[in-house]
Amino acid sequence: MSRGIRYPFPDLHKTGDEELNWLYFYSFIVAIFVFEVSFITFAWFFVLRREMRPSEMWAAEEGYRMMTSHFRRYSYRELVEATRKFRVELGRGSSGTVYKGVLEDERPVAVKKLENVSRGKEEFQAELSVIGRIYHMNLARIWGFCSEGSHRLLVCEYVENGSLANILFNDQKTVVLDWKQRFNIALGVAKGLAYLHHECLEWVIHCGVKPENILLDTNFEPKITDFGLAKLLNRGGATQNLSQVRGTIGYIAPEWVSSLPITAKVDVYSYGVVLLELLSGTRVSEMAVGSGAEVHSMLQKLVRVLADKLGGHEESSINEFVDPELGGRFSYVQARTMIKLAVSCLQEDRNKRPTMESVVQTLLPFDEASS
Q: How far apart are CA 213 and CA 229, in angstroms?
A: 12
Q: What is the pLDDT of residue 316?
A: 78
Distance CA 267, CA 252 (A): 9
Give the per-residue pLDDT at 13: 46
Among 214, 182, 207, residue whose Cα is nearest residue 338 = 182
Per residue of the chain (371 residues), give pLDDT as tens. 444 444 443 444 445 555 556 666 667 676 777 666 666 666 655 554 555 444 444 444 444 444 434 568 899 999 999 999 999 999 887 778 999 999 999 999 999 987 765 555 566 666 676 666 688 999 998 888 888 888 888 899 999 999 999 999 988 778 899 999 999 999 999 999 999 999 887 778 888 899 999 999 999 999 999 865 554 343 344 444 554 455 788 898 999 878 788 899 999 999 999 999 999 999 988 876 555 668 888 899 999 999 988 887 667 788 889 999 999 999 999 999 999 999 999 999 999 999 999 999 999 998 876 65
Amino acid 68: pLDDT: 38
- Work out whether the CA dihedral 165, 263, 272, 132 comes out positive or negative: positive
Polymer length of the chain: 371
Type of residue numbered 336: R
Beta strand 96-102 with 214-216 is unpaired
Q: SS3 sequence, 170-224?
A: CCCCCCCCCHHHHHHHHHHHHHHHHHHHHHCCCEEECCCCCHHHEEECCCCCEEE
Residues 6+ apart with CB under 8 A from 262: 205, 207, 231, 239, 240, 241, 242, 243, 245, 255, 256
Name the DSSP letter for residue 294: H
**Is position 113 annotated in a ligand binding site?**
yes
List helix spans (H) across 228-355. 254-258, 265-280, 292-311, 315-319, 332-345
pLDDT at 339: 96
Q: CA-CA distance, 113 to 98, in Å (whole number)?
A: 6
DSSP 284: G
What amino acid occupies position 78?
Answer: E
CA–CA distances in Å: residue 188 to residues 180, 184, 293 = 12, 6, 30
* Predicted pLDDT of residue 267: 96
What is the phi/psi pair of residue 98, to 5°? -110, 135
Identify the structural domains of the chain with CATH numbers, from first to last. Answer: 72-157 (3.30.200.20), 164-370 (1.10.510.10)
